Chains A and B, each alone.
Chain A
Amino acid sequence: MENQPKQWKKITLQIAGMTCSACVAHNEEALSALPGVTKAVVNLATGKASVEYDPAKVSLAAMRKAVADVGYEVVLDKVQLKIGGMNCQACASNIETAVGALPGVGRAVVNFAAGSASVEYAPEVTPISEISNTIHELGYDVIEKVQGQQALDREREVRQKEIRRQLIYLIISGTLGTLVMIGMLQPYWIFPQFIPEWLNNKVVLFFLTTPVVLIPGRQFFVNSINGLRHGVTDMNLLYATGIGAAYGIAVINTFWPDAGFGGKDATFYEAAALLTAFIILGRYLEAVTRGRTSEAIRRLMKLQPRTAHVVREDQEKEIPADEVLINDIIVVRPGESIPVDGTVVDGYSSVDQSMITGESIPIEKKTGDEVIGGTINKTGAFRFRATRVGRDTALSQIITLVEEAQTTKAPIQRIADKVAGRFILGVHILSLITFLFWFFIGFSLWFTPDSRMMLTPYSLNLVGSFGFALLVSVTVLVISCPCALGLATPSAIMAGTGKGAEYGILFKGADAMETASKVKAVIFDKTGTLTKGEPSVTDVIALNGDEKEVLHLAGVTEKNSEHPLGAAIVAGARDRGIELEDADNFDAIPGQGVFASLGERNLLLGNRRLMQEQEISIEKLIPAAERLEHEGKTAMFLAVDGNAYGIVAVADTLKETSAHAIEELHRMNIEVAMITGDNLRTAEAIAKQVGIDRVLAEVLPQDKANEVKKLQQEGKIVAMVGDGINDAPALAQADVGIAIGSGTDVAKETGNVILVKDDLLDVVAGIQIAKATMRKITENLIWAFGYNTLAIPFGMGVLYPFVAQLVSPELAALLMATSSLSVTLNTLRMRGFVPAVRRQPKSAAVPVKAGMQAAGQ
C-alpha cells in the first residue's frame, strides 16, 4: 500500500447475485482484469468487493460492466434529493446530464413535477456533497431527503431477494423433478400398480423437465457462458454441460428416436431434472445460511440520534443531528441520546457509554469532560460544545472500521476457489478424451449389438459410434458432477451450526467455522466478558464495629443515590439480608460521594478527597484501601459522625467459568490473552486470577483492533471474544470474532460467532464444535473425492470391454446422488457429538479464587 502512487483509490462495491466461492472468483477475475485495477478482493459473506484502482484508467461504469458481464450486479447507494428552482423539463434534463456525467454516478433520474431526483452513486467515488455542488452550480437548491440507512435496507433486500429466488427455483425443480423420477420408474418393479402409465410418456416427461431446465437451470447456463467469456470456469459450467447434454439427448431421443443417440428408450429426463433440483437445494441452503453482517452496521447506525437540541442565537432549536456544526452548543436532558461528540461546557450528569466503550458503569460527566455521540445521558442535564460531527464522530469511525474489516477474506479461500476451477476444467478434458477414444478406437474394437446400459432396460443396438461416444462422454460429465464435493462442506457446516445452536453457539458461516477450528490464540475482552460487567461489593472492612454494620450504614447512605456504585452497595447489602431504612437527609457531592443522616448519626460515604475535605482522619484505613486498589477494586470510605468507620470495596467480579474456560483453552494448546482499557496493575491482578499469561492493558477502544492485528502479525489465527460496540472493530479484525451473550446486539452481529449464553465455556465448546465440523468436512471431502476417483473410470467405460454394459447418465446421476447421500449420512453422525468441555461434570470446574468473590459470600 505504501508504494502505491497517490492517484490510486479504493472503492467498496456491493455485489448482488453471488452464491458460491466460484462467484467470488468470477468477480475477482473480472475486476482484476480491468486495466487500472491493482487489486480486487471479493467477500462472499458481505457480498462486497474491495477494489484498488486508478481512476484515470478505469471508471466505475467499467467496473459495473465487468461485474455485469460475469452475471452479477453492482448495487449502488441510492439518494433521494429534493431540488428547488426547476422551471421546466429542460432544467430536469440538464441536472440529469450534469449529475449523470459525474464519475461515481450510475444513474440519475430527475422528476420535474415532484421537484426531486433519484441518484444511484458510489459515495467513495463521488460523495453526495459533490452531487449537491454540481446541482448548486447549475443554479438549483438541493436538500438530501433520505438517511444513509436506506443503503442498508437495500442490501438486506438484495439478500432476501436471492433467498426467495432460490426457494422458488427449488420448489419448481423439486416438485417437477420428483414427478419426472416417478414417471421414469413407472415400468419397473411394483410401480405399474401405483403409477399411471401416461406419466412415463416421453412427451409428458419432456413437458415436465423443460421448465426445470429453462427456469431454475437457466442460471447455470447464463453464468457459465458469462464466466467463459471472462476466462473462468466454475461448477456452473459442469452443471450446464451435464444438464444440457442429458436434456439434449433426452429431447433428441424423444422426438427423433432414429438419430443414432440410443433410441426412444434412452431418455435421461430424470437425470437433467434431479441434477438441477439437487444443485438448487445447495444454492438455497447456502443463500439462507450466509452471513448477515450488514445487520451490525445497521444496529450501529441506529444508535445515531436523529435530532439535537442546539442553542443558536440564544434560542434552543431542535434540528436534525446531521445538521449539527462544529462548535454548536447542544443541550442534553436526562434520558436523551448525545447527538455528536463534544466537550461539556456546563452541567453535571452520568452518561451510559456502554454502547461505545463497553463499560457497564455510567461515567460521570462535568465541565471539560468529553462526551461521545450515540451514548445515553442518564441523570442530569448538561450542555456541550460539538467537536466532531458527521463522519468524524467516534461512532461513525467505528462503523467505517467494521465495514472495512468485513471486506477482507482469508487467503486459503482463494486457493480453494482455484482448485475448484481446475477440477471442473479437468473433467471436461477427460470427457473430451473419453469421447475421442470411444469414437475412434473403443467403439470399433469392443462394441457389440447386444450392449446395454447398466441397470436399465435401454438397449444400445441402434446406437452408432457418435451416439455411443457421446453417451460415455456425457456420463463422465454427470458422474463427475461434484455434488458430493458441493455437499461435503455445507452439509457438515449445517450440522456443525445446528450442533452449535444446541449449545447456544451461533456460527455465522463456513468461514467462521473453518477459522475457529484453526485458532491458535484467543483474546478476551475484560469488562463484561471475563468479568460480569456489573459492579458488586467485594470487600467490607470495619474499623469501629462489625462488617455488617459498615455495609448497613453504607447501604442506608447510598439508598437514594442513583450512582451505579451506590446501587451496587445497596444491592450488596440487600443480598446479605440487611434491611435498609430510609435516611433522613441525603445529598450527593458530585465526584466525591454522598452525605446522609440516620437519626442522630451523620453518615459520609465517598473517596479520599471527600474525607480530606471533611477533615476526617482515615490513616488507619489507608493500607487496606491501597491493597484493595492494587487488586483493581474501588475503595469507598465510610465515616460516621466525623470519624472513619470502614471501607466498602466495589468491583466487577469474574464470571464463574472464566478460569475453567481459560484452563481448557490452555489444554488445547491455545494461547490466551486479555485486552482491557484498565491500568496494567489492575489488569495483571485479574489476569492472574484466571490464569491468563498475556495482558494487553491500557488499550483504548479504537486501538483494540490494532492489538488484534499485532497478534495476527505473529502468524497466529486469532479469536477475539468480546462485547460492546467498542469491541466491534476488534471482533471484525480478528480471524474469528466471538461475541458473548452479555454484549450488545451490535457486537453480536459483528462477531463471526455469537454466544447466546453468558458462559465462557461456550468459547471452548465453540472451538471444539468447529474442529469436529472441520474433521467431518475432511472426511466428507475424502468420501466425495474418493467417489469421483472411483466413479469416473466406470463412467469412462473401463468395464465395457468385459461386460458390454455402460454406465448410463441416469445411473451416473444415481451414483452421484449416492455419493451425496453417503456424505450426508456421514455428516448425520455429528448428531451424537458432544463437545469435550460439556462432557465433563460440572464439579470439574475450577473454582474462582475466593479473593474475587464478594465479601461475605
Chain B
Amino acid sequence: MKNTNLISAIIYTGISLVAAGLFIAGTLPGHYTAVERFGGAAWVFLLCMIISMPIIIPLVRRKMQ
C-alpha cells in the first residue's frame, strides 16, 4: 500500500513538475517577467497535480495488484 502511494506520488508529481518545467521552457523565448514565469508555472503545476492524481493513483494500484 505504501509502495503504491509512493510510486503514484512520484509519477504524478513528476508529471506536474515536467509540465511546470515545460511551461517555464515555453516562456524562455518570450519576454515574460519572473512573476509571470514562475506564477504561471505554479498554477500549471497545481492544475496538473489535480488532474493527474485521480488518474495516476488508480492506474498504479491496478498495475501493482
Contacts and interface: CB of A to CB of B under 8 A. Distances in A.
B56 interface: yes
A97 B17 CA distance: 46
Contact of A231 (B23, B30, B61): B61
Contacts of B30: 440
A39 to B, nearest CB: 15
B51 A465 contact: no
A425 B51 contact: yes
Secondary structure type dominating chain B contacts: helix
B53 A465 contact: no
Contact of B54 (A421, A465, A469): A421
B44 A436 contact: yes
A241 B43 CA distance: 11
Contact of A228 (B23, B33, B54): B54
Interface in A186-230: 227-230
Interface string A240-265: 01000000000000000001100000
Interface string B34-57: 011101100110111111011111
A35 B40 contact: no
Given A230-B57, A436-B44, A470 B39 contact: yes
B53 A428 contact: no
B54 to A, nearest CB: 5
Nearest to B4: A33
A232 interface: yes
A428 B47 contact: yes
Interface string B6-42: 0010000000000000010010001011011101100
Contacts of B54: 227-228, 231-233, 421, 425
Contacts of B26: 440
Nearest to A465: B36
A439 interface: yes
B51 A34 contact: no
A431 interface: yes
Contacts, number: 78
Contact of B56 (A33, A231, A439): A231
Contact of B35 (A34, A259, A428): A259
Contacts of A432: 44, 47-48, 51
A333 B43 CA distance: 77
B12 to A, nearest CB: 9
A42 interface: no
A435 interface: yes
Contacts of A782: none
Contacts of A469: 40
B58 A231 contact: yes
Contacts of A311: none
Interface of A is mostly: helix
A466 B36 contact: yes
Interface residues of A, number: 31
Q: Tell which of A231, A428, A429, A431 has the most Cβ of chain B within 10 Å.
A: A231
B50 A470 contact: no
Interface string A295-337: 0000000000000000000000000000000000000000000
Interface residues of B, number: 29
A435 B47 contact: yes
Contacts of B23: 436
Interface string A406-432: 000000000000000100010011011
Contacts of A436: 23, 44
A230 B54 CA distance: 7
B32 A465 contact: yes
Contacts of A473: 43, 47
Given A231-B8, A231-B57, A231-B58, A466 B50 contact: no
A237 interface: yes
A831 to B, nearest CB: 40
Contacts of B35: 259-260, 464, 466
Nearest to A244: B46
B50 A35 contact: no
Contacts of B46: 241
Nearest to B35: A260
Contacts of A428: 47, 50-51
Contacts of B43: 435, 466, 470, 473
A231 B53 contact: yes
Contacts of A439: 36, 40
Contacts of B53: 228-229, 231, 233
Nearest to A232: B54
Contacts of A464: 33, 35-36
A228 B61 contact: no
A431 B47 contact: yes
A241 B30 CA distance: 28
A633 to B, nearest CB: 64
Interface of B: 1, 5, 8, 23, 26, 30, 32-33, 35-37, 39-40, 43-44, 46-51, 53-58, 61, 65
14 contacts: A35-B1, A228-B50, A229-B53, A231-B54, A233-B53, A241-B50, A432-B48, A435-B43, A435-B47, A436-B23, A439-B36, A466-B32, A466-B43, A470-B39
